[in-house]
Amino acid sequence: MPDLTPELAVADLERSLGFYRDILGFSVLYDRPSEGFACLRYEGIELMLDQIGKGRTWETGPLEHPLGRGLNLQCRVSAIDPLAERLGRAGIALYLPIETRTYRVGDRDIRQRQFCVQDPDGYLLRFCEDS
């Protein structure tokens, strides 16, 4: 298990699985349907989904759509084009279209191709590949 695995509170686990598993291609590592919970993986990315109000909900304030305001989850993958194509076929608009950006990291520059998409609950996912 990675050292950091985000757990996203979601309104409807099945709807979220339809997005992450069926459209993006994440696999379910394990789940607890009676608790509205699933742990997912795509390449080196792992995240957990937890249905609000079913099982334990980590609620530190009102949960209003879009969830995850002020947070974007950078997801480094080997190739972003297949993900963007699957989203397009599903009719899901990108929040930020594919772009190439250069970022300063210490004493060097790195280049990434990236795009952003919101999941059904509004969490912002930034998929990127090294270019």
pLDDT tens figures, 64-89: 889 988 899 999 999 999 999 999 99
> Does 61 reside within a domain?
no
60: pLDDT confidence band, cut at 50, 70 and 90? confident
63: pLDDT confidence band, cut at 50, 70 and 90? confident
Strands 7-10 and 45-51: parallel
> Does 100 reside within a domain?
yes
How many residues does the structure list for the chain?
131
C-alpha to C-alpha distance for 9 and 94, rounded to whole angstroms: 21
Domain that holds residue 76: 7-56+69-130
Whole-number pLDDT of residue 82: 98
**φ, ψ for residue 34, nearest 5 deg:** -65, -20
> Does 63 reside within a domain?
no
Neighbour order of strands in the sheet with 37-42: 7-10, 45-51, 37-42, 27-32
Total structural domains within the chain: 1
Whole-number pLDDT of residue 38: 98
Instruction: Specify the residue for token string 């979601």.
Output: 10
SS3 assignment, position 37: strand
pLDDT tens figures, 49-59: 999 999 777 77
pLDDT tens figures, 104-123: 999 999 999 999 999 999 99
> Does 126 reside within a domain?
yes
The answer to whether 40 and 28 are in contact (CB under 8 A) is yes
Task: Give the number of other Cβ atoms within 10 Å of residue 13's Cβ.
Answer: 19
> Does 64 reside within a domain?
no
> Does 90 reside within a domain?
yes
Whole-number pLDDT of residue 11: 96
For residue 116, what is the domain's CATH number? Answer: 3.10.180.10
> Does 1 reside within a domain?
no
> Does 106 reside within a domain?
yes
